Amino acid sequence: METIKVACYTWNVETTWPDQDLHSLLGVSKGPVIKRGLDAALPDIYIIGLQEVKSQPQNVIMDALFEEPWTNALREVVGPHNYVRVTGERLQGIVTNIFVKRHHLPHLRDIHTSVVRTGFGGLWGNKGATSIRFSLYGCSVCVVNCHLAPHDAGYKERVDHFNAIVDGTQFPVQETSNILYHDYVFWLGDMNFRFEGHMTTEGIAKFITDNNWSRLAEVDELKQAQKSGDAFSMFTEGPLTFPPTYKYLEDTQEYDLMRRPAWTDRILHQVHVDAYENVKLGVEQTTYEAAQEYRQSDHRPVRAHYKIKMFANHEERCVHFEQPSSWVIGEGGLVKFTLDSDVVTSPADYIAIYKVDFTSVHQYVIYMYLPQPPPGAHSHATLSLCSMTSCCRRQECTGCCTTPASTAATWA
């Protein structure tokens, strides 16, 4: 088995822009960049879930034309350290991004996203969840970023939202069509669970002053929901050893005691240890903390680091590219590749050319959809990539078969 390091983040940014430098939050040095993924201290995967990102109509229109500002800011921090944004999803103010170290890209499969709206009886996306699933080295992973119902009296509605997300999220992968069917699940977000109703603001503040986290955990609604089976009973959470993350006065370390403080921002996980014969999957959580220095919102960001087990040297459905011959700027060239016997193509498959240091799968220089092979054709194909731009030189670009292309192709 191989150990993969996963870093999960959740932050309700309260409609603010990414004003503070994000290097410290993500544990990335601002010094010289270590190329080609050689910085072993950094995680293999970043999972970053945000809530209350600006989502007025004008913001949504701009984000459709240009990269959403928080996504761009995150990519600019981790991209130089050899990470690629492989996917993301947005539901109004709920934004999820996944960045993976470049050398893992050939082992990613079956990336799919889903959204569930729970606001206003399921009609509006101000509350709900974005979910992303993928397979890496043969293991399935699902990520859920949610924003559940608010307010002290909203416990039942929060539970209803949880169940609506579990029941309403479907993926087009038969074995893992449901969130809970995956080998690994990371569920994070502004879950809005509060402390039990008998806890006064003054009583909560006293426990915070005394750093009495264990006593506060005893009256935490999410812990109670797990014990009663109302919600999250199948999930595990690390010890709560940091102050409640809500509600702060902006740009201070002081709570706004007009609201009862609460651990609204949480990260939980689930693993199916015995999903496969003769091997055991596993999760080791190494950190669970709030980043107190980030004060631009009334919430504090929360991060959790994990080590998970995956299959070593696992290969399936591989595409093998041949060394390209010389390409002439403006004239294009031929891409030759071979598909393993277990590769099933679809009209949505494409071949793309990227600059060597691309940091998002959407940063292709050019792409072409892959025509379907005729009946009886073998797995060897030659595809002509034309209309090459002057910025695409052989020294600067690399071929990448992402997910699912049409000009002339020759199947052997």
If pLDDT is split at 50, 70 and 90, which confidence band does 99 have? Answer: very high
Residue 246 has pLDDT above 70, yes or no: yes
User: Is the same domain home to 106 and 41?
Assistant: yes
Domain boundary among 262, 288, 310: 310
- Whether residue 210 sits in one domain with residue 233: yes
Cα–Cα distance for residue pair 330/332, rounded to 1 Å: 6
Whether pTM > 0.85 for this model: the answer is yes
Residue 162: count other Cβ atoms within 10 Å of its Cβ: 23
**141 and 81, same structural domain?**
yes
Residues 305 and 341 in one domain: no
What digits encode the pLDDT tens for the residues 348-390? 888 888 988 999 999 988 888 888 877 766 677 677 765 444 3
Q: Are residues 300 and 323 in the same domain?
A: no
Q: Taking a C-beta distance cutoff of 8 angstroms, is the pair 50, 11 a contact? A: yes
Q: What is residue 373's predicted lDDT score, i.e. its pLDDT?
A: 77
Q: Domain boundary at 244, 277, 310, which? A: 310
Nearest to 79 by CA among 48, 115, 37: 37
pLDDT by residue (tens digit) across 281-311? 999 999 999 999 999 999 999 999 999 999 9
Residues 166 and 213 grouped into a single domain: yes
Is there a single domain that holds both residue 373 and residue 245?
Answer: no
Residues 102 and 249 in one domain: yes
pLDDT for residue 245 is more than 60:
yes
In this predicted structure, the answer to whether residue 38 has a pLDDT above a threshold of 70 is no
Residues 402 and 256 in one domain: no
Whether residue 400 has pLDDT greater than 50: no
Mean pLDDT within 222-251: 97
Q: Please state the rounded mean pLDDT for residues 116-124.
A: 88
The tokens describing 376, both together, are: 């009886």
Segment 150-166, tens digit of pLDDT: 999 999 999 999 999 99
Do the strands 283-290 and 302-310 form a parallel or antiparallel pair, or are they unpaired?
Answer: antiparallel
**Residue 46, strand partner residues:** 7, 99
Q: Which domain holds residue 143?
A: 2-310
> pLDDT tier at 394 (50, 70, 90 boundaries)?
very low
Question: If pLDDT is split at 50, 70 and 90, which confidence band does 61 have?
Answer: low
Q: With 50 as the cut, is the pLDDT of residue 403 above it?
A: no
376 and 297 in one domain?
no
**CA angle, residues 384, 395, 369, in degrees to nearest 5:** 25
Same domain, yes or no: 304 and 327: no
pLDDT at 65 over 80: no
Q: Are residues 134 and 16 in the same domain?
A: yes
Domain boundary (286, 310, 334) is at 310
